[in-house]
Amino acid sequence: MNREENACLVVMAKPPLLGKVKTRLAKGIGDAAALEVYQTLLDHTMKVAHECEIEVAVFVTEHDDYFDDHGFPISLQAAGDLGNKMDLASRQMMKQVGKVIIIGTDCPDLSHHHIEKANILLDSHDIVFGPCEDGGYYLLGLKFPHEEVFENLPWSTDSLLEITLNRCREKGISYSLLEKLADVDTFDDLKISSLWQMVQHVVEPQRKR
């Protein structure tokens, strides 16, 4: 298999540190419970990464022993907004592979099947998005850098995907969409997610009222 056919899964993650993760969620349930939720999401994401049959690279905000235990190559994320972080991570990996699939750690229903589907769709499309219920996206697949599409976007807003797709249309960039999934950013997200039953016993006693 040549470089153009090879793919890499890039996981964008933060280490599981108290007070530094799921800050929007922590406003409703406190830092300790938010960390527990994040740890569960992070463990799930890394499990998905291990189940994938493609190369995996983890880009972190800071080094932590947690990631060393998984055996994947680790790099520090670049400075700037999420668009710049993903752009530079994808450029780094595209020196080695022809397709890059980027995910975060907020989606409890993500599976390796979504990664595999994105990999297949990239054979016939320039970009693949995994749309979120809240208007963002949980997955981004690329074959080429597209800085002009992702710079100065309104990250963490409900118009993110719509604006990104409009830019793709304006630039004549072909794209495909995976199934829509929910991510977990707030307490309301958590209550209706598949994660709730797993963490309810931790969250409810610590929830701020």
User: 129 is in which domain, residue-wise?
Assistant: 3-193
Alpha carbons 7 and 157: distance in angstroms, whole number: 29
Q: Is 30 within the bounds of a domain?
A: yes
DSSP, collapsed to helix, strand or coil, labels residue 52 as: coil
Go through 60-77 and write b for each residue having 16 or more CB atoms within 10 A of its CB, e for each that does not.
beeeeebbeeeebebeeb
Give 38 or 205, the one with higher predicted confidence.
38
* Chain segment 5-40, per-residue pLDDT in tens: 699 999 999 999 999 999 999 998 999 999 999 999
Instruction: For residues 187-195, give the mean pLDDT.
Output: 93
Q: Is 198 within the bounds of a domain?
A: no
Could you give the count of Cα atoms lying within 13 Å of 103 in the half-sphere of its Cβ?
A: 31
Q: Is 152 exposed, middle or buried (0-12, 13-18, 19+ CB in 10 A)?
A: exposed
Alpha carbons 31 and 124: distance in angstroms, whole number: 43
Q: Is 162 within the bounds of a domain?
A: yes
Q: Count up the domains in the chain and report the number.
A: 1
Indicate which CATH number applies to the domain containing 90: 3.90.550.10
Alpha carbons 97 and 73: distance in angstroms, whole number: 14
* Chain segment 117-169, per-residue pLDDT in tens: 999 999 999 999 999 998 999 999 999 988 888 888 888 788 899 999 999 99
Distances (CA, A) of 145 to 86, 95, 205: 10, 11, 45
Go through 15-46 and write b for each residue having 16 or more CB atoms within 10 A of its CB, e for each that does not.
bbeeebbbeebbebbbbebbbbbbbbbbebbb
Q: How many CB atoms lie within 10 A of CB 1?
A: 8
Q: Is 199 within the bounds of a domain?
A: no
Q: Is 204 within the bounds of a domain?
A: no
* Chain segment 47-96, per-residue pLDDT in tens: 999 999 999 999 999 999 999 989 999 999 999 888 899 999 999 999 99
Q: Is 209 within the bounds of a domain?
A: no
pLDDT the model gives residue 133: 92
- Give the pLDDT band (50/70/90) at residue 208: low
Q: Is 166 within the bounds of a domain?
A: yes
- Give the pLDDT band (50/70/90) at residue 172: very high
Average model confidence (pLDDT) across the chain: 92
Closest CA to 143 of 128, 132, 131: 128
59-65 contacts at long range (C-beta below 8 A, 24 or more positions apart): 59/10, 59/11, 59/12, 59/13, 59/85, 59/89, 60/13, 60/14, 60/15, 61/13, 61/14, 61/15, 62/14, 62/15, 63/15, 64/15, 64/16, 64/17
Q: Is 202 within the bounds of a domain?
A: no
pLDDT the model gives residue 4: 56
